[in-house]
Structure 1
Amino acid sequence: MTTTQERPNVQERTPTRRPNIIVRIEDAFTTLATRIGHPALRLTLGLTFLWFGALKITNDTPVAEFVDNTVNWIPLLDGGWFVPFLGVVEVLLGAALVVNRGMRVVLPLLFAHLCGTFLALLTQPEVTFKDSNVLMLTTEGEFVIKNLILLSAVVVLYGLRRRPAR
């Protein structure tokens, strides 16, 4: 009596696997990203605010008039002093990010400041939207909308604030 035993299909028997070298490389990149991601995000955000703030302080920013026109409807806010003042605030916030001090206060202030930039969409729609079409941004509109990314960075940093370093 002969019994025939079917051999299982090799593909069914062995789960699909990535080559071992790819897994090791991916693990190395994941470990590196976990180690440097948080500080890199904090440092690059800090350097960005230091840079933008310094340009406002020295009146070398291309957005001085744009910022002034965003807030000039508020009594007593004159771009002549407000734009450099905003630059000082940005430099202080940026420096705090770089040295990693005062994050409990700095991150909410940064979040509020970035939310304030969206005022331009309301106060200057003719400047931020092409032909009054909210889907067509001008250069100024793109400048404002990119702050959504910076807001997300602040939220991520705030969420990581109390996590122990690895």
Structure 2
Amino acid sequence: MTTMQERPAEQAPRTEPRPNLIARTEAALGDLAGRIGLPALRLTLAITFLWFGALKITNDTPVAEFVDNTVNWIPLLDGGWFVPFLGVVEVLLGAALLFGRGLRVVLPLLFAHLTGTFLALITQPEVTFQGGNVLMLTTEGEFVIKNLILLSAILVLYGAQRRRAATR
């Protein structure tokens, strides 16, 4: 027969639940995203602008005529030189993103450049919308509208860059 003293003492209930595997995994992934998210965003934007710019420089871009038709109403802008020139600008901006140089200037320039792409919706509605319906995009229209995501990415990077500069 055991006495009260011989019985193992009952453990007091925990006041904090032990993190389960899902919570620990989520915390680890959140920490990882916090560390690599902004550099990954900057890197992927850099790759995109380097790649798209290089295609414009070599005149291998499928959007050369589309870009030319977007700006050809502006005097002295001829796609024969403007599209490759735009490619050079994109490569330079992409390289600056890649190396993290001049972002205070580069990010607003990228924002302005991407905002300019929406001119195609105005100058070429017959190409960007199906049958004139602004809710029905063509492939070209989708190409333009996806720039909303790139604009948001630039805003995120610019905000982070400004916060870093303010803490220095």
TM-score range (shorter-chain normalised) is: 0.7 to 0.9
Q: Which runs of structure 1 show a deviation greater than 2 angstroms over 4 or more consecutive aligned residues? A: 162-165
Question: What's the CA shift string for 1:60-113, capped at 9, x where partnerless?
Answer: 000000000000000000000000000000000000000000000000000000
Q: Percent identity?
A: 81
1:69-148, aligned counterparts within 5 Å? 69-148=69-148
In the aligned structure 2, how far is the partner of 1:59 from the partner of 1:119? 21
The alignment of Structure 1 onto Structure 2 pairs a total of residues equal to 151
- With normalisation by structure 2, the TM-score equals 0.86
**5+ unaligned residues in a row in structure 2: which ranges?**
1-13
Distance, in Å, in 1 between the alignment partners of 2:81 and 2:112 is: 20
Q: 1:84 to 1:18 in 2, by over 3 A?
A: farther
Alignment deviations for residues 1-35 of structure 1 (CA, whole Å, 9 cap, x no partner): xxxxxxxxxxxxx99x7952211111100100000
Matching residue of 1:33: 33
In structure 2, how many angstroms separate the alpha carbons of the residues matched to 1:119 and 1:51? Answer: 22
More strand per residue? 2
Task: Give me the CA root mean square deviation.
Answer: 1.7
Aligned mates of 1:73, 1:163 — CA distance in 2: 40
Q: Provide Cα deviations, 1:101-133, integer angstroms capped at 9, x if missing partner.
A: 000000000000000000000000000000000
